[in-house]
Amino acid sequence: MEKTFSAPPLLTKRQLLWKNIKKSKHHYILMAPYAILFLTFTIVPVIMSLGISFSYFNLLEPPRFVGLDNYIKLFLEDEVFIIALKNTLILAVITGPVSYLMAFLFAWLINELRPKLRSFLTLVFYAPSISGNAFLMWLLIFSGDVHGYANAFLMKFGFIDNPILWLKNPDYMMLVIIIVQLWLSLGVSFLAFIAGLQSVDKTLYEAGAIDGIRNRWQELWYITLPSMKPQLMFGAVMQITTSLAIAAVSMQLVGFPSVQYAGHTIVTHLIDYGTVRYDLGYASAIATVLFLIMMSTNLLVRKILRKVGN
């Protein structure tokens, strides 16, 4: 008991840190299983990917250092990559902001409804993103013959005379991918917005009405959006990451590879080299470029969103 009364010895910074670590032993034990898996399957792979991208590696022979060769080939010699890069950026610039605004707009509109109807419409809008391969129904809708639903509809009302080969004609492929991707895009960010809107402090609206807010647009701008900033940030990260990683929809609908690579994206290019050609060094260079695009877009948008309303 005497010990407790003696003055604590002066500790150096390092000793203090060590003491803190020892004191938190149980916390590290609780975190250990996740931390090990997270490092193994997320952090280490990012570093490995960067390393392998400077090598030629086919999994059978040991990797051979080739310097910047993969990157030089990627940007100067690989015309397909340039197409993929262009397509990815077009898809991201359109589906990213549109899906973000759609997710917010629908969440906002739904929030005006009674709880039962609100739950039902939340389901209607969210269901496509969790419906497995139900997006293959769009193969029937955009089928190239006269029985494709889109063709039949447009022909019946006289917009077109001959059926359009939606999935084979390079002029229409991107349009199809964008439509289907938008249909799929009301995912976790949509749920975050729904939840965010429900948790806005109701008294703020009453106070706002007294302070002279006259319509729903002013209410949205001055009360709702500022209260939801954290959810808006989270939603932005989710939508940006998804919109830059479009691949499954393209591969399943317009084919892999698509006619004239018109539906090719960075991720389908990555899949081509990583799992078809087993040129892992080159695939890693593609992955590293994609990683840099995703991180820089996210950090830039985050910076901009932080400023909004300040």
Site for another protein in 187-226 (CB under 8 A): 188, 191-192, 194-196, 198-199, 202, 205-206, 209, 213-216, 218-219
**How many C-beta atoms lie closer than 10 Å to residue 255's C-beta?**
15
Q: CB neighbours of 29 closer than 8 A, spacing ≥ 6?
A: none
Task: State how far the Cα of 191 lies from the Cα of 48, in Å rounded to an integer.
Answer: 34
Q: Which is nearer to another protein, 164 or 280 (CB)?
A: 280
**CA-CA distance, 266 to 285, in Å (whole number)?**
11
Q: Which residue's CB is nearer to another protein, number 122 or number 258?
A: 122
Residues 72-111 interacting with another protein (rule: CB under 8 A) = 102, 106, 109-110
| Contacting another protein within 11-70 (CB under 8 A) | 17, 20-21, 23-24, 26-28, 30-31, 33-35, 37-38, 40-46, 48-49, 52, 59
Instruction: Scan for tokens 């289907």, then name that residue.
Output: 180
DSSP 246: -
CB of 262 to another protein, least distance (A): 20
* Comparison of 80 and 260: residue with beta carbon closer to another protein: 80
Number of residues in contact with another protein under rule CB under 8 A: 105
CB of 90 to another protein, least distance (A): 17
Q: In angstroms, rounded to a whole number, what is the distance separating the alpha carbons of residues 75 and 150? A: 38
Q: Which is nearer to another protein, 40 or 260 (CB)?
A: 40
Asked whether position 125 contacts another protein by CB under 8 A, the answer is: yes
Q: Which residues, in sequence order, are bridge partners of residue 64?
A: 56
Within positions 150 to 189, which residues make up the interface with another protein, using CB under 8 A?
152, 183, 186, 188
Q: 114 vs 307, which CB is nearer to another protein? A: 114
Residues written for the chain: 310
> Which of 207, 203, 197 has its CA nearest to residue 113?
197
H/E run at residue 65: strand 64-65
Task: Please state the separation of Cα 299 from the chain's center in Å.
Answer: 13
- How many other C-beta atoms can be found within 10 angstroms of the C-beta atom of residue 279? 18
Which residue stretch of 4-12, 65-73, 76-84, 141-149 sits at the interface with another protein (rule: CB under 8 A)?
141-149
**Alpha-carbon distance 276 to 152, whole Å?**
37
CB of 146 to another protein, least distance (A): 8
d(CA 249, CA 139): 11
Indicate whether 131 belongs to the interface with another protein (CB under 8 A). yes
Q: Kindly write out the interface string for residues 240-279 of this chain, putting x where it contacts another protein by CB under 8 A and - elsewhere.
A: xxx-xx-x-------------------x--xx--xx----
Q: Is 71 in the site for another protein (CB under 8 A)?
A: no
Is residue 149 close enough to count as binding another protein by CB under 8 A?
A: yes
What backbone torsions phi and psi does residue 54 show, to the nearest 5 degrees?
-95, 20
Name which of 258 and 268 has its Cβ closer to another protein: 268
C-beta closer to another protein: residue 121 or 225: 121
| Distance in angstroms (rounded) separating the CA atoms of residues 88 and 246 | 7
